Amino acid sequence: MCQGPLIILSGPSGSGKSTVIRRLLHEGDLPLRLAVSATTRPRREGECAGVDYYFWTREHFLEQVRAGAFLEHAEVYGNLYGTPRGEVEDHRARGCGVVLDIDTQGARQIRRLYPEAVSVFLCTSSAAVYEQRLRRRGTEDDAAIARRLAAAERELEHVREYQHLVINDDLEVAVAQMRDLVVRSFCGGDCRAR
């Protein structure tokens, strides 16, 4: 059995990473899972602990950092985020592909550890689309949206670090392109539904 691929997906807030990943997983014909990250940010309405994130105190998170429990971790918007080792290594060993929804800092750390990882940057064709999507979410005030838009500009500077670029102006097209990249990443493209 081939080791499952590691797929890095990064992109600015509002690029549609979560939506694209949900669609890929919902199709259910690929041995694929999303690694659940740990965070110190408060849980939002509708989020489920252990499914969306592991919601930890800052103290517990830092204890786990000291214990070497993370593949990568970073501070983003004043909150800590990280990928626990157990969310990746065991699943890949069993042939399951693992998707990491991480920022550019985390992606850099993962690429050093796993040079074979497939890296994809997801974005829209304009900043106006990001802003529209962030406002539609209704989860943040104007100041938070402004911070996310500024961060999006900084993240876009890293697009050349990724192997693949997917433009998400049309969700169906973006999901199809992402699916094609994932399928090709399994054992050199010989992926059969299990």
pLDDT value, residue 194: 36
Q: Which domains does the chain have, with CATH numbers?
A: 1-35+96-194 (3.40.50.300), 36-87 (3.30.63.10)
Between vectors from CA 165 to CA 90 and to CA 101, what angle results, nearest 5°? 35
Q: Supply the pTM of this predicted model.
A: 0.85
Pairing mode of beta strands 54-55, 6-10: unpaired
User: Which residues, 6 or more positions from 126, have their beta carbon under 8 angstroms from its beta carbon?
Assistant: none
- Calculate mean pLDDT across residues 103-118: 94
As a residue count, the chain comes to 194
pLDDT value, residue 1: 64
Percent over 70 (pLDDT), the chain: 95
pLDDT value, residue 76: 81
Confidence of residue 188 (pLDDT cuts 50, 70, 90): low
Cβ density class 143-169: b for 16+ within 10 Å, e for less: eebeebbebbeebbeeeeebebebebe
- Calculate mean pLDDT across residues 133-142: 78
